[in-house]
Structure 1
């Protein structure tokens, strides 16, 4: 009987060791949309003059290797790319901004690192030191992304203010649009 229990314990340990983390699950869910584009709508925080309201919003899951790159197009502006990379068991989000000629914008590479492995459908990123130095007013930013079978959301909350911004993309309806972000 002891051998049976020992065998079951060893099997459980092997299965647990091979189980993916919530972070791995999140990345796998996101990677299944690689090469596809989706239209989005502002579902929280949009207001006239914010640079987003009233414009076509489109995301593409464009690069899906060790680094996932998701261009985010706002009308004719193709300057934004969300860059996700794993770092010591956590996920790092950086916002890459470029000019039409491919030169980096002076405000680029801001974001944060998730403080833990997150959830299989949610990862969040408090502003890092680089962001606080580059954009002091954004030091209180927290970004988060969600992914499910039907939607992807990009979210921003500025702690200590009423700033909240959410764009929701319908993953059930890919578009045929393929654009190149500036500097790609």
Structure 2
């Protein structure tokens, strides 16, 4: 009798937990939502970029810089970043339920994953509707150390979105680079980034 009672209680607890899990809404942070939606509003458009900060110099070798807000869903935005003919980079911004995550998808020209890919970070606070910061996560730090670029473990990536400008910024001690994109002047969309098909 006692065993049946225990099983009954466990069953009720599991059923209640399952029901709560299904009905519980994801965490929604107003600044994250506003930031995500401001970028999403440009879906399908491409923009030319210029380097506004670079304390090392010539990071992109003077190549043409183009970002393309190529794919948008309720929880993910994919933004290929073209550097001249190099279509290896795609920024992936994802709602995780506890904040926002930024990842860098790097591909080889044949579409295969680059040895250094999917690094990035997750928001650690609410940030601002116009600016979000992504400190390097544990996966990225491990990848950087194994790749012999331990200085990158201090990376913080920032994305800024204003009515007329989108900016991508990388900062760490003794390193800063920022690319600004003019949202008031869309350009022709580029071809698909490597590994993403047509």
Relative to the length of structure 1, the TM-score reads 0.85
Q: Give me the whole-angstrom Cα distance separating, in 2, the residues matched to 1:83 and 1:69.
A: 5
Aligned to 2:31: 22
Aligned to 1:43: 52
2:42 alignment partner, one of 27, 33, 45:
33
Check whether the contact 1:42–1:53 (CA below 8 A) recurs between aligned residues: no
Aligned to 1:3: none
Check whether the contact 2:53–2:176 (CA below 8 A) recurs between aligned residues: yes
The reply to whether residue 168 of structure 1 matches residue 183 of structure 2 is no
Q: Give me the whole-angstrom Cα distance separating, in 2, the residues matched to 1:27 and 1:76.
A: 28
The reply to whether residue 182 of structure 1 matches residue 188 of structure 2 is no
The reply to whether residue 96 of structure 1 matches residue 121 of structure 2 is no
Which protein shows a greater Rg? 2
Aligned to 2:67: 59
Q: 1:89, CA displacement in angstroms?
A: 2.7
Unaligned runs of 5+ in 2: 1-27
Unaligned runs of 5+ in 1: 1-18
After superposition, the CA RMSD in angstroms is 1.4
Runs of 4+ aligned structure 1 residues displaced above 3 Å come to none
- The structure with the greater share of residues assigned to helix is 2
Q: 1:125, CA displacement in angstroms?
A: 0.3
1:29 counterpart SS class: helix
Check whether the contact 2:43–2:71 (CA below 8 A) recurs between aligned residues: yes
Q: 1:96, CA displacement in angstroms?
A: 0.3
Relative to the length of structure 2, the TM-score reads 0.79
The reply to whether residue 82 of structure 1 matches residue 91 of structure 2 is yes
Q: 1:36, CA displacement in angstroms?
A: 0.2
Cα gap change, 1:37/1:147 in structure 2, threshold over 3 Å: closer, same or farther? same
Q: Give me the whole-angstrom Cα distance separating, in 1, the residues matched to 2:32 and 2:177.
A: 23
Q: Give me the whole-angstrom Cα distance separating, in 1, the residues matched to 2:130 and 2:166.
A: 9
Q: Give me the whole-angstrom Cα distance separating, in 2, the residues matched to 1:61 and 1:69.
A: 6
